Every structure is written in C-alpha cells, then in structure tokens.
Amino acid sequence: MSASTPVILLTGGSRGLGAAMARKLLAEPIKAKVVLIARTEPGMKALQAEYPGQVEYVIGDVGKDEVNEAAVKLAVDKFGSLTGAIFNAAILDPIAPVAKADVSAWKNLFDINYFSLIAGLKAAIPYLRESKGKVVFISSGAAHHYFYGWGAYGASKAATDHLAATLAVEEADIVPFSLDPGVMDTDMQGFIRSHGEGMVSHEHDRFLKLKSEGGLSPPEDPGSVAVNLVLGCPKELAGKAIKFNDPALAAYRDYKA
C-alpha cells in the first residue's frame, strides 16, 4: 500500500449519508482503504465485493465500546495505519418532550450518538497523532435550533460540537471538525415523516413539505464535503462547527451551491 493511501474509519457506513461517503472514499481518484461499522451487514458486504482489498468492516452497535475499539484495531492490523475518522452513526429516537422522557431511551441515544465517539477516539488518537490525522463529526442543525420533542438528539449533537472544539484544544497533531449536513433525503427523514406524534404539527409539516417540494439535499452533497475535509481539513478549521453549504467550505464541495 502506498504511504499516501488514506485509511479511514467510518461509522454508520452501510446506507444513506454513510454509504455516500464510503463510495466517494473508495472510488477513483481517492481509492482509500476504509473500515466501516454498522449494525447490518448487507450494505458493507456489497461495498467490500465492489471494492476488493479496500474495505473491512465490523458488524455491531457503536453504542458498545468494544465495537469501536475493534474497528480501530482492524484498520491498523489490516491497513497499517489510521489517517482519519468520520463519526456518522446516530439515531433520532426518542422523539418526546422532556416531561414524557424515557430516561433509558435518552441514555441509549447518548451511547450511540455521543459516547461511541469517546470510545472510538480513545482507541484512535494514538494512531491519528502519528498520521496527523483528521476527524469529521457529523453533527446537525438541531444542535443549535430547538425542536419540540428532539431534546435527546439535539443535546447529543450539541455535545458533539463541543467535543470537536475540545479535541482541537487537546490534540495539536489532530484536526477535528464538526459538520452539519443539512436536511438530506435519507432514511432518517423518512423516520421523521412517519413519527409526527412526538412533534408539534407545524414542525412535522415542515419536514413533510421539504420532501414533497424537493427541498432535501442528496446525501452525496454533504458527503463530498465530509470526505474532502477528512482528507485535507486545514488547521485553521480545527474545532469549528459549520454547515456543509456554508461559503467557508466552498473549496471542499464537489457540486455547485
């Protein structure tokens, strides 16, 4: 393997935004080596067959520390290094107001959306220091815009943004970045449209309208930005949290805004 070949850890890589990012990493001209984590195998297995020698994967729940640790070990054992990570895996459920909160469901969401990042980072940091690697956290506009019933998800994404900024302060040789991918045409949006009972009607109607009026971005658009950042995010962006179509990221887009 060429010393310049990127080796990237990607969570939630079997479908939606994760699959879009995986394909961009694996295809020409990048031809990265990629270690995927997801709960279901078919999407990852298909990518491994399509890009032989470039893909390894771990089947499991990122909410389990050992799954994240195994993926980092797999990257180093199979590909010899780790040059970047994209932490993408996340869930939206539970959708409910705080007054009706299922605390165990909140804890499960945080295990997946936030504490998995800590487990993955702790295992990956020694190798990312060595490679002067990049880390992209997939965040959300819900980190700073507040929706009825979305307290768990929004809080986990606000914590993600804070983690990116903290890592920038702590790790001089690693460049972390938190990317808001906007509202995409993925399974999560389908989940939102079918779970209006936990939301107020005007907010739910907004998501229905975005779908019916073509207001959802294809995942390839924010996905291309995330990939370009994990390959070459500059030091001056370390710790920042920015939306994918912000003018500050124009140089990292593969599409016309």
Asked if residues 11 and 116 have their Cβ atoms less than 8 Å apart, the reply is yes
State yes or no: pLDDT of 175 exceeds 80. Answer: yes
CATH superfamily of the domain spanning 7-185+218-244 = NAD(P)-binding Rossmann-like Domain (3.40.50.720)
Exposure of 44 by Cβ count < 10 A (0-12 exposed, 13-18 middle, 19+ buried)? buried
> How many angstroms separate the CA atoms of 228 and 208, rounded?
31
Q: Where are the beta strands (DSSP E) in the chain?
A: 7-11, 33-38, 55-59, 84-87, 134-138, 175-180, 241-243
Q: Which of 51, 127, 153, 252 is catalytic?
A: 153
Query: What is the average pLDDT value for the chain, to the nearest integer?
Result: 91
Q: Which of 14, 116, 139, 178 is catalytic?
A: 139
pLDDT grade for 251, boundaries at 50, 70 and 90: very high
Known catalytic residue at 224 = no
Query: Has 57 been annotated as catalytic?
Result: no
Tens digit of each residue's pLDDT (9 = 90 or more) over 31-54:
999 999 999 999 999 999 999 999
Q: Is the pLDDT of residue 213 over 90?
A: no
pLDDT tens digits, one per residue of 114-141: 999 999 999 999 999 999 999 999 999 9
Calpha distance 186→91 (Å, rounded): 12
Among candidate residues 24, 33, 157, 240, the one labeled active-site is 157
Give me the phi and psi of 28, to 5 degrees please: -60, 145
What residues does each domain of the chain span?
A: 7-185+218-244
Catalytic annotation present for 114: no
Residue 1: pLDDT over 50 = no
